[in-house]
């Protein structure tokens, strides 16, 4: 038996919500086959099965939030799926039960009227005598056999002379079916000649039902709602909690630098077609910014650090998280050792992580361990913004849209490709001077780019 546990989907994540089971108890599951879906503030993804076998037991229901490493299910790797033998047991049972229910009810009603004082033990012996005693009632002008309350009520409602109804029940007893058959046979001739006693009893049932229903219809309708209420998704709730926590934890300050991206824009335009043909994906501005940020982080290691109580934790690796917009939220997968990668390698990693983030295929270790983050809000046309720090990091760099603008170059007006770099930093650890030095270094690398993209 293999235990299936709630995985940790980020270093700061302590719990996750199981949003959907993709397999049911008793079903076969292959190793690494998607078993269930989870949602945290960092990722909304499918979790593969750790072993092959039969899903023997589900311990956590859909929608439940549990701590990491909690056992959510068990997989039996030794037994196969078992067929359910109960399928043939009740195939025909419901039909006869439904058919017998009405007849049984009528028989009970008849028995209560014909022999109310009899004990259960005496009924089998006296039943034949009751049947033999059935003929006398017609001589007295009454229908044969006992009448159930249901038959009497139908007779009153439809003004039926029961002496004209032929009984088909035991001993000539009149049943509900006999009354309905009689009504069907006399339907064409029923209207012209109702019995004289009928008008006295007819008004009673007519006064009871219709008027109250008609009087209730004109009730005032409530005014249409002026707002639509929709609960947040689990991922949206986690993002909200994480952002509020970050604002409450770090002293957020944002510095903005304008950067001339003309050299990179020209390099990108000249290499864009051949790059697409050679590697199968397009060349964007993001790998250039990521490469420049990684180099600046190596030169300013405190921006790559984090706060741990009253200590500064310096990270030996430069692991840059790249924000990816999803349909219902945001996720920040991590590029590990970004300072060791080329433009091609960075672009490949960015494309791959973004694709798998949107198709819910990220692995747990791909959304944790980040030491610095970059968000490209310029891809949606924004010039600059003030991004929120991704805890426990102390800095995040926002990249605005690259647009052509008239700027002054050597005392002359020129058209240049410009963008804004917005660095949000934690003022507990980084002062404004250091933040500007770091951002200025990123800008300097981008403005004086000399490497080839291919």
What is the set of active-site residues? 427, 431
Do residues 433 and 300 make contact, with C-beta atoms less than 8 angstroms apart? no
Q: How far is CA 88 from CA 9, 45, 101, in A?
A: 46, 40, 23
Length of the chain in residues, anyone?
454
**β-strand partners of 422:** 256, 398
Residue that has been written with the tokens 């050299």 in this structure = 263
Give the rounded distance of the alpha carbon of 171 from its chain centre.
Answer: 63
Q: Output the CA–CA distances (angstroms, integers) from residue 171 to 61, 151, 183, in the order listed.
A: 60, 16, 22
Enclosing H/E stretch for 263? helix 262-279
Distance of CA 180 to the CA centre of its chain: 52
Residues 241 and 41: beta-carbon distance below 8 Å: yes
The Cα–Cα gap between 211 and 213 comes to 6
Q: Could you tell me the two tokens for 287? A: 């790998």
How far apart are the C-alpha atoms of 323 and 242, rounded to whole Å? Answer: 15
Strand 34-39 and strand 44-48: the pairing is antiparallel
- CB-based contacts of 361: which residues, under 8 Å, 6+ apart? 45, 46
Distance CA 40, CA 48 (A): 16
């Amino acid at each position: 038996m293999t235990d299936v546990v709630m995985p940790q989907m980020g270093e700061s994540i302590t719990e996750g919500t199981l949003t959907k089971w993709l397999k049911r108890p008793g079903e076969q599951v292959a190793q690494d086959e998607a078993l269930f879906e989870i949602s945290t503030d960092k990722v909304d993804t499918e979790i593969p099965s750790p072993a092959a076998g039969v899903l023997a037991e589900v311990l956590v229901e859909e929608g439940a939030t549990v701590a990491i490493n909690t056992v959510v299910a068990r997989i039996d790797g030794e037994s196969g799926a078992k067929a359910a033998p109960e399928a043939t047991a009740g195939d025909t049972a419901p039909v006869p039960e439904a058919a017998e229910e009405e007849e049984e009810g009528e028989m009970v009603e008849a028995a209560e009227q014909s022999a109310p004082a009899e004990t259960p033990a005496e009924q089998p012996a006296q039943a034949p005598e009751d049947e033999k005693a059935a003929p006398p009632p017609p001589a007295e002008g009454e229908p044969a056999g006992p009448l159930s309350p249901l038959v009497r009520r139908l007779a009153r409602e439809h003004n039926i002379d029961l002496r004209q109804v032929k009984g088909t029940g035991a001993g000539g007893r009149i049943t509900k079916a006999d009354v309905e058959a009689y009504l069907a046979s006399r339907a064409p001739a029923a209207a012209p000649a109702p019995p004289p006693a009928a008008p006295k009893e007819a008004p009673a049932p007519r006064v009871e039902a219709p008027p109250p229903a008609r009087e209730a219809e004109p009730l005032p309708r409530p005014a249409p709602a002026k707002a639509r209420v929709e609960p947040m998704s689990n991922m949206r709730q986690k993002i909200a909690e994480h952002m509020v926590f970050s604002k409450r934890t770090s002293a957020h300050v944002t510095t903005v630098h304008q950067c001339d991206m003309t050299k990179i824009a020209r390099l990108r335009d000249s290499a864009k077609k051949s790059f697409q043909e050679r590697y199968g994906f397009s060349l964007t501005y993001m790998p250039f910014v990521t490469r420049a940020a990684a180099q600046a982080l190596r030169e300013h290691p405190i921006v790559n650090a984090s706060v741990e109580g009253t200590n500064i934790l310096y990270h030996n690796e430069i692991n840059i998280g790249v924000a990816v917009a999803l349909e219902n939220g945001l996720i920040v997968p991590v590029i590990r050792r970004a300072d060791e990668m080329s433009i091609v390698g960075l672009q490949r990693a960015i494309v791959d992580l973004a694709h798998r983030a949107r198709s819910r295929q990220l692995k747990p270790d791909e959304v944790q361990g980040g030491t610095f983050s970059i968000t490209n809000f310029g891809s949606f046309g924004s010039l600059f913004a003030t991004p929120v720090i991704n805890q426990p990091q102390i800095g995040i760099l926002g990249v605005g849209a690259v647009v052509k603008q008239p700027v002054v170059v050597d005392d002359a007006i020129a058209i240049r490709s410009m963008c804004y770099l917005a660095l949000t930093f934690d003022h507990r650890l980084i002062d404004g001077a250091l933040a500007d030095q770091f951002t200025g270094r990123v800008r300097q690398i981008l403005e004086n780019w000399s490497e080839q993209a291919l």
